[in-house]
Amino acid sequence: MDYYSLPEGKCTFVPKGVFHGPCLKFKGQEIEFRHHEQAELGLALHESGLRDTLSLPIERDLCVEVRTAWGDYIQSLKRTFEEEVAQRTPDEEKSEAAVAILLRRAVHG
């Protein structure tokens, strides 16, 4: 396992360059990963709301497997929350906000 501390805020994926491996670029900070698949997993976890220190597998295939499983899990949660929220309010803006809050709570516990 490799461990990465990801800061708060938006980030962008920067592919491998001549002088660096693939990384996530935050506002003034770049976090370099072992390989492309690991960086994509880090991005997926960060975009779903996970913060702080992440434990990421070293093996490329395992990174892809975890990213796929995590994406499926988050999409399933989101669909469930959208269905439940839609039964309680017809207001689309409130629905989106409620789903975002529920997803954050589900991810952070």
Domain coordinates of the chain in residue numbers? 2-108
Each residue's pLDDT, cut to its tens digit, for the chain (109 residues) gives 999 998 888 999 988 777 778 999 998 888 999 999 999 999 999 988 887 789 999 999 999 999 999 999 999 999 999 998 888 888 888 888 988 889 888 887 6
What count of other Cβ atoms lies within 10 Å of the Cβ of residue 25? 14
Question: Per the structure block, which two tokens stand in for 17?
Answer: 């360059």
Question: Which of 69, 74, 48, 73 has its CA nearest to residue 57?
Answer: 69
Residue showing tokens 């779903």? 48
pLDDT for res 25: 92
Q: What is the reported pTM?
A: 0.82
In angstroms, rounded to a whole number, what is the distance separating the alpha carbons of residues 41 and 43? 5
pLDDT for res 41: 95
